[in-house]
């Protein structure tokens, strides 16, 4: 059975997955890369110098059994990328997705075939419609909701997410995009596991109740 | 050296220490007692039936070495208690404080001597002034900031808190009083330890940097 999954979405203690303002120079605003330092230290991020262990094991789940990704327009590029016909994402010629990748935008453009198996498709669609399209492309594998936080929230609120992995980093950002907005009572629909690790982060795994 | 400490302040994943609306019938609003179930299961709360272990050990710190408490008006009673001259707090004749206890209110009244060593004093004062008064009464022991969340926030923001213990409960409340408001960059001033426990909560201990 194909599931819909979220992995490695890092948030501050106060729930922000990104700071503000977001720009080409500062994709995460005033948060910088502080939400992701735990991940940079793993083998998942850097096979040569990263560490194994529980942070790494959970991070590695990101790619296991995934056949397609859906991401929001704000993950694909800085504000205004839709006005740049040459924008091909942040990731260079070989993006780290290696599957069909669906970018939600109100201004779709033709698909972009990249190296390494990633093809970007641009969709103006509701979460349910986008998921149906991505699932058809995923060849019976799972679909990852790649973020940002508003897209994850929308898919969770629509009841479309089976597995949600958040990583709480011990900083207080004060402002930004909160992953929690609109998700009151989330625990009624999911089993929740909390595991703190020696790096100082706490992994929250939400598994949809049967 | 006398320190200023916060203990056992329970918050939801989205940072709320209480739901809403607060009333005599529902002191924590729509949160009910869901933020405190972890504590009810400890020996700290019920010496006869409670469990030992790390939740209990951390909860027990609440009383160790404390010589006075400061609490907000919203902890002492429901909205409007100031209009009831007979209101003596939620806790019956023998409140669980057993020290001088300072209630911050813009409408002070004479002190109330209760059983078991608790005397309620009513202060219209700034955090720094209240702390000076409480410290003088604490006989060189530590001062506990007893909450609610707005009072804790005010004392932390004023740089008056040495030790802050929060307990993150895996529920999403959606609305209420957030402990994080105004505390951007808290990690610059504190070492932060996160420990998840088998009950499902995560203890956050902030220790002021030297």
Query: pLDDT by residue (tens digit) across B74-95?
Result: 999 998 999 999 999 999 999 9
* DSSP bridge partners of A192: A206
pLDDT greater than 90 at residue A23: no
Which segments of B61-177 does DSSP mark as H helices, in order? Answer: 73-76, 127-137, 149-157
Residues contacting residue A8 through CB under 8 Å, at least 6 positions apart: A39, A58, A59, A62, A165, A167
DSSP string, A15-84: -EEE-SS--SS-TTGGGTTTTTHHHHTBTTT-TTT-B-SHHHHHHHGGGTTEEEEEEEHHHHSSTTGGG-
Number of domains comprising chain B:
1
In this prediction, residue A154 carries a pLDDT of: 97
Compute the mean pLDDT over every residue in chain A, rounded to the nearest whole number: 96
Query: pLDDT by residue (tens digit) across B47-73?
Result: 999 999 999 999 999 999 999 999 999
In this prediction, residue B202 carries a pLDDT of: 98
Q: Which residues of A touch B201 (CB under 8 A)?
A: 194
A8 and A1 Cβ atoms separated by less than 8 Å: no
| CB pairs < 8 Å spanning A and B | 80
Chain B contact residues (CB < 8 Å to A): 13-15, 168, 170-175, 178, 180, 182-187, 192-196, 200-202, 204
Contact A14 B15 (CB under 8 A): yes
The 8-class DSSP code of residue A86 comes to: T
C-alpha pair distances (Å), A95 with each of A88, A112, A153, A193, A197: 10, 11, 24, 31, 29
pLDDT greater than 90 at residue B203: yes
Domain that includes residue A184, residue range: 4-208
Query: Nearest CB to B196: which of A172, A175, A195?
Result: A195
Contact B13 A171 (CB under 8 A): no
B144 and B62 Cβ atoms separated by less than 8 Å: yes
Query: pLDDT by residue (tens digit) across A59-68?
Result: 999 999 999 9
A195 and A203 Cβ atoms separated by less than 8 Å: yes
Q: Measured between alpha carbons, how far is B67 from B53 in angstroms, rounded to an integer?
A: 25
Q: Measured between alpha carbons, how far is B150 from B160 in angstroms, rounded to an integer?
A: 14
In this prediction the ipTM stands at: 0.93
Tokens for A196, please give them: 């703190």
**Beta pairing class for A177-178 and A66-72:** unpaired
User: How does B103-128 read in b/e, with b if 16+ C-beta sit within 10 Å?
Assistant: bbbeeeeeebebeeebbbbbbebebe
User: How does B17-52 read in b/e, with b if 16+ C-beta sit within 10 Å?
Assistant: bbbbebeeebbbbbbeebbbebbebbbbbeeeebee
Q: Which residue of B has its CA nearest to A204?
A: B170
CA dihedral A184→A21→A196→A199, nearest 10 degrees, is: 180
Query: Nearest CB to B186: which of A172, A180, A192?
Result: A172
Q: Measured between alpha carbons, how far is B165 from B209 in angstroms, rounded to an integer?
A: 15
A165 and A61 Cβ atoms separated by less than 8 Å: yes
pLDDT greater than 90 at residue A24: no
B127 and B107 Cβ atoms separated by less than 8 Å: no
- DSSP E strands in B31-87: the ranges are 66-72
The 8-class DSSP code of residue B197 comes to: -
Q: Which residues of B touch A182 (CB under 8 A)?
A: 174
Q: Measured between alpha carbons, how far is A122 from A105 in angstroms, rounded to an integer?
A: 6
In this prediction, residue B23 carries a pLDDT of: 85
Q: Measured between alpha carbons, how far is B190 from B168 in angstroms, rounded to an integer?
A: 18
Burial of A68 (0-12, 13-18, 19+ CB in 10 A): buried
**Beta pairing class for A202-208 and A163-169:** antiparallel
For range B135-159, the mean pLDDT: 97
pLDDT band of B171, cuts 50, 70, 90: very high
B111 phi-psi bin (left φ>0, alpha ψ -120 to 50, beta other)? beta
Q: Which of A86-95, A98-107, B21-30 has the lowest mean pLDDT?
A: B21-30
Q: Among B80, B82, B77, B75, which residue's Cα sits nearest to residue B18?
A: B75
In this prediction, residue A27 carries a pLDDT of: 87
Q: Among B171, B103, B100, which residue's Cα sits nearest to residue B137?
A: B100
Query: pLDDT by residue (tens digit) across B141-151?
Result: 999 999 999 99
Q: What share of chain B has pLDDT > 90, as a percent?
A: 95
**CATH classification of the domain holding B58:** 3.40.430.10
The Cα angle at residue B150 between residues B145 and B153, in degrees rounded to 5:
65
Query: Nearest CB to B196: which of A173, A184, A202?
Result: A202
CA distance B116 to chain A (A): 38
Residue from A156, A166, A170, A204 to probe the interface with B (highest B Cβ count within 10 Å)? A170
In this prediction, residue A130 carries a pLDDT of: 98
pLDDT greater than 90 at residue B2: yes
User: SS3 for B198?
Assistant: coil
């Amino acid at each position: 059975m194909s599931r819909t999954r979220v992995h490695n979405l890092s948030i501050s203690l106060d729930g922000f997955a990104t700071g503000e303002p977001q720009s080409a120079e500062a994709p995460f605003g005033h948060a910088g890369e502080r939400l992701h330092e735990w991940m940079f230290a793993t083998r998942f991020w850097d096979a040569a110098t990263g560490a194994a262990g529980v942070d790494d094991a959970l991070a590695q789940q990101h790619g296991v059994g995934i056949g397609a990704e859906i991401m929001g327009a704000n993950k694909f590029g800085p504000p205004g990328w839709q006005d740049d016909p040459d924008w091909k994402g942040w990731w260079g010629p070989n993006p780290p997705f290696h599957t069909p990748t669906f970018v939600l935008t109100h201004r779709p453009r033709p698909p972009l075939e990249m190296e390494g198996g990633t093809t970007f498709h641009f969709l103006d669609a509701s979460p349910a419609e986008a998921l149906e399209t991505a699932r058809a492309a995923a060849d019976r594998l799972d679909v990852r909701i790649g973020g940002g936080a508003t897209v994850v929230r929308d898919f969770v609120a629509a009841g479309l997410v089976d597995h949600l992995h958040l990583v709480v980093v011990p900083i207080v950002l004060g402002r930004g995009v909160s992953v929690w907005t609109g998700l009151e009572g989330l625990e009624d629909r999911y089993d929740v596991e909390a595991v703190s690790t020696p790096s100082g982060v706490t992994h929250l795994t939400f598994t949809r109740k049967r």
